[in-house]
Amino acid sequence: MAEAALSCGGAEPPSRAGRLGESGYPQVMNGLRTGNARMINYRELDALTKDPRRASLTAAMLLSLDNADWNEWEVDFLENLSTRTAPLSTRQAEKLIELRDAGVLYDKIDGFALKTLIDKLWIYRHELTDADFIHHLKASGTVKLRKRQALKLLAYARQIGEIEPHQGWVG
């Protein structure tokens, strides 16, 4: 259920800040787009710093995501926040929002269907530094990727000239 709350068809997540989804977890997808980078919305950031319950639920939801590629530090951070009852610092809230954004599933980014890019990169997989990444995506029939995986896919598409250097997210 948490997957559905973070699934997004395009590059921009829906903005339903502070509402509870079917899963009971907060859906706090809100932000401003400036070019290829998303700016954190200060109101959302401020609200998250002052609402430890909301932060705790968001962290718990992120920990429950399937196939999230959190590193050890991020897992520790999310576990700590999931039990936290005190208000967050601004930096903690910023990092939580960054992790939340990294947990969103995308099937399109700036008009590029990820499934189409996977198919095209499959043809050129031997020219890539990590052919196993593309092989795994193709074999699993993946059509949606989290932000980090999507960024990696876009970097490979740039490497083989499938998209221009200025297109898609840069990271």
Q: With left for phi above 0 and alpha for psi between -120 and 50, is residue 18 left, alpha or beta? A: left
pTM for the complete prediction?
0.69
Band of pLDDT at residue 160, cut at 50, 70 and 90? confident
| 74 and 112 part of one domain | no
Number of structural domains, the chain? 2
The H helix count followed by the E strand count for the chain is: 8, 9
Looking at residues 125-149, what average pLDDT do you find? 90
Indicate the SS3 state at residue 32: strand
| 51 and 9 part of one domain | yes
Q: What is the pLDDT of residues 42-70, one digit of tens each?
A: 899 999 999 999 999 999 999 999 888 89
Yes or no: say if 117 and 157 are a contact pair by the CB < 8 Å rule.
yes
Q: Which two tokens stand for residue 84?
A: 């936290």
Indicate whether 47 belongs to any domain: yes
pLDDT at position 40 over 60: yes
Domain boundary among 84, 105, 126: 105
- Greater confidence (31 vs 61) lies with 61
Q: What CA–CA distances, in Å, run from 113 to 46, 91, 128, 130? A: 34, 33, 20, 21
CA distance 69 to 116: 23
- Greater confidence (76 vs 38) lies with 76
Contacts of 75 (CB under 8 A, 6+ apart): 63
Which uninterrupted H or E stretch holds 145? strand 145-146
Indicate whether 56 belongs to any domain: yes
Looking at residues 147-154, what average pLDDT do you find? 90
Residue 171: the pLDDT is: 54
Residue 89: the pLDDT is: 95
* Average pLDDT value over all residues in the chain: 80
pLDDT at position 71 over 90: yes
